[in-house]
Amino acid sequence: MTPLLLLEFIVLAALWGASFLFMRLGAAEFGPVATAGLRVGIAALCLLPVFLRPAVWQGFVARWRPILIVGLLNSGLPFLLFSFAVLHIPTGISAILNATVPLTGALVAWLWLKDRPGGSRVLGLAIGFVGVTLLVLGKSGVDARGVVSAGGHAMSLVAMGACLLATLCYGVAASFTKRYLTGVHPMASATGSQIGATLALALPTWWLWPAQAPGAGAWLAVAALAVLCTSIAYILYFHLIERAGPARALTVTFLIPVFALFYGAVFLGETISAWMLTCGVVIVCGTALSTGLVRLRWLEPVR
C-alpha cells in the first residue's frame, strides 16, 4: 500500500470512528429516527454530482429496485439502530460491536449463498461470537444464566442487541448485493442506497421530528455525520477498493474502534476498561480469521 493509500486508509477509519460520536451528539437532540433520516438525506444530496455521471446513472437505472432495497438494509435500518444504541451505551462499545460486521456477513453468506467457509473461517466465527458474548455479559450486568444483576441495566442489553441487529442488516445487505448487484457501478449502489434509505425514513423522520428545535451543535454533528462520515467516507472506501483491493480495504474495520474509543474518551468522558479492550481484541482476531485475511494452514483442507 502506497503512502497516499495508507493515509486514505487512516482517514477513512478516523471518519467512520467519528460517526459514533456524531450520532451520539445528534441523537441526543434530534432523536434516533431524525438523526438517521437527516444523515442519509444530506448524504444523498452530497453524492448527487457523482450520481449524475452517465456511467453511474445508467448503473442505477438498470438495477434501481434492488439498489433501493439495499439502501434500507445497508443504511436506513443500521443508522437508525446505532443512533438509538449510542444513547444508552458508550460509543466505544457500539464501535466494537460494529466490528462484527464481517462475522455476520460471513455467517449470512454461509446460510444464504452456501458460501461454506474453511476451517480457519469457522474458527474465526466461533472466536468472534465468543468475544461478542463476553462483551455483552460483561457490560450489561447480565450473568451467565441470563439474569440482570442489581447493578445492570436492561436498556444496555437492548442497545447492544440493536447494534448486533444492525450488523446483521449489513451482513444481509452484503449477500443481497453479491446476488443481485454484481457488476453494478459501486457509486451507483452507494448513492442509490442513500436515496433508498432517505425514501424509507422520510415519513418517520417527519412524524418523529423533535418538538423542541435542536441547537447549532446538534445540527453541526448531523451535518458532519452525513458529509464526512457518509459521503466522503463512501468515496474514500470505494477508491481504496479500486486501488488496494477489497481484502485490504476491509481491514479498516479493525481500526474503527480504536478511533471511536479515543473520541469517546476525549469528547464524552467515556471510560475505556480493560474488559472492553480484551473483548475487542478477541472480536478483531475472530474477524481476521472469519474474513480469510488470516488463515491457519493446519485447519485448511489439503488440495
Reported as a single tens digit per residue, the pLDDT across 28-82 is 999 999 999 999 999 999 999 999 999 999 999 999 999 999 999 999 999 999 9
Q: Is the pLDDT of residue 100 over 80?
A: yes
Alpha-carbon distance of 103 to 111, in angstroms, equals: 12
Distances (CA, A) of 199 to 57, 203, 215: 18, 8, 25
Where are the chain's structural domains? 3-294
> For residue 146, what pLDDT band results from cuts at 50, 70 and 90?
very low
Distances (CA, A) of 277 to 139, 140, 258: 12, 16, 9
* pLDDT at residue 301, rounded to an integer: 56
Which residues are 142's β-sheet partners? 148
Is 298 exposed, middle or buried (CB count within 10 Å of its CB: 0-12, 13-18, 19+)? exposed
Reported as a single tens digit per residue, the pLDDT across 197-226 is 999 999 999 999 999 999 999 999 999 999
Q: What percent of the chain has pLDDT over 70?
A: 91
Q: Is the pLDDT of residue 288 over 90?
A: no
Integer-rounded Cα Rg, in Å, for the chain is: 19
Q: What percent of the chain has pLDDT over 90?
A: 57
* pLDDT at residue 150, rounded to an integer: 44
